[in-house]
């Protein structure tokens, strides 16, 4: 905890200095980007060492037991993990055990490779394949396509038009909704470009192998930061967040959500806002994200079971929730793009805070059991089933 407070405090000081000492809202040399990645690594490592030295292992979650570090890293290992050339600029963050296993060439293996459905596959040897050229080329092609889309389309649908007085006064509300979706859709390719390029760099170096698919082909998504198709066709707020900036979501889960005894959802969103930077728009986005998450959770728990009776009902539910999720995401992240309080509040006022009000009413009206009760009622998996089915000691836990 002390490491998290010190690292996050220093990062916040640097971000405040960059924003309010240098040009506010203008581009400048952003030295805080690499610091954000290193903050994740330093704090993850601190908690993993703490878990490895914990005398009461029954207090640890299965995820924490897998990631726990039993031996204190040397100074060389520490700086290698934090400052390696593959992820120093844009990440993505990985667990210390996965990184050291890659460096030493002796990844932590189980007796057999497991597939994502929990089944075993004894046909493949327990060795990492060489980096697949086609995998790296495919990711580089995705980078190029994302960059071209962003450069060619982003200026056609500027986000700032959502708060233009003439646009608000003369455009029907349904057209404003469509334009909001298109304007936010065209801002995402720049993130696709950066994160996919970072993933491709690690894969080219041989880092990122994650076991085999059911057809025997190797998977190179151990440290992938996004799944584009799952993002664009997400049918819930949680599904969108689970596939966006994946490694940062894992970090937030490890250091905050799994350890915070009270209101872990709110604490996680606030930590995420502090980590992202000092712009007020970040805090507006993540504070809005809290109420949207609670409302989406309430809807899923109370409404979704009624649509699972037939494929047609399920398809109808997926279509409605896809549209609702995309609108909620776009509404939530507008301040993240606009950065300042004035423009962000102007946008929310133009929508009469409708999503805020609707989400609060849903969260209050629809009951959801507390997290600790849901965990007690969840099925119990064996240790083998509680971890993901990869070649490395991966940190993901199976969703219940």
Catalytic residues: 245, 276
The Cα 400–Cα 371 span in angstroms is: 13
Q: 62: which residues sit within 8 A by CB, 6+ positions away? A: 381, 383, 386, 387, 397
Torsion of CA 307, 308, 310, 315, to 10 degrees: 60
Contact yes or no for 174/75 (Cβ under 8 A): no
Q: What angle do CA 7, 11, 13 make, to 5 degrees?
A: 120
Task: Find the length of the chain.
Answer: 400
Q: What angle do CA 394, 399, 400 make, to 5 degrees?
A: 140
The Cα 285–Cα 273 span in angstroms is: 8
The first and second tokens of residue 180, run together, are 């909001």
Cα 331 → chain centroid: 18
């Amino acid at each position: 905890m002390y490491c998290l407070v010190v690292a996050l405090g220093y990062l916040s000081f640097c971000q405040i200095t960059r924003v309010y000492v240098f040009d506010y809202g203008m581009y400048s040399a952003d030295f805080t980007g690499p610091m954000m990645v290193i903050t994740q690594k330093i704090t993850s490592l601190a908690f993993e060492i703490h878990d490895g030295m914990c005398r009461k292992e029954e207090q640890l979650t299965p995820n924490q037991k897998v990631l726990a570090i039993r031996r204190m890293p040397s100074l060389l290992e520490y700086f290698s993990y934090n400052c390696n050339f593959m992820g120093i600029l844009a990440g993505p963050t990985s667990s210390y055990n996965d990184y050291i296993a890659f460096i030493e060439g002796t990844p932590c293996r189980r007796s057999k490779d497991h597939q994502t459905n929990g089944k075993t596959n004894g046909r493949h040897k327990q060795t990492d394949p060489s980096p697949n050229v086609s995998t790296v080329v495919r990711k580089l092609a995705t980078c190029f396509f994302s960059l071209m889309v962003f450069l060619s389309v982003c200026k056609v649908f500027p986000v700032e038009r959502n708060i233009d007085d003439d646009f608000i006064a003369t455009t029907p509300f349904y057209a404003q909704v469509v334009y909001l979706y298109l304007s936010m859709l065209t801002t995402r390719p720049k993130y696709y470009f950066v994160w996919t390029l970072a993933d491709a760099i690690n894969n080219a170096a041989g880092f990122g192998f994650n076991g085999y698919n059911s057809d025997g082909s190797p998977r190179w998504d151990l440290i992938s930061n996004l799944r584009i198709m799952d993002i664009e066709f997400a049918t819930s707020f949680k599904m969108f967040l689970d596939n966006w900036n994946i490694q940062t979501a894992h970090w937030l889960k490890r250091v905050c959500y799994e350890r915070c005894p009270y209101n872990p959802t709110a604490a996680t969103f606030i930590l995420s806002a502090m980590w992202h930077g000092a712009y007020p728009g970040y805090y507006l986005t993540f504070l809005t994200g809290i109420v949207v998450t609670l409302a989406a959770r309430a809807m899923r728990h109370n409404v979704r079971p009624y649509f699972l009776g037939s494929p047609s009902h399920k398809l109808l539910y997926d279509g409605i929730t896809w549209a609702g999720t995309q609108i909620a995401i776009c509404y939530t992240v507008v301040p993240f793009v606009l950065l300042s309080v004035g423009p962000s509040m102007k946008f929310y006022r133009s929508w009469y805070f409708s999503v805020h009000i609707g989400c609060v009413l849903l969260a209050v009206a629809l009951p959801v059991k507390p997290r600790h009760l849901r965990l007690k009622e969840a099925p119990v998996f064996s240790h083998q089933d509680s971890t993901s089915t990869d070649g490395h000691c991966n940190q993901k836990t199976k969703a219940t």
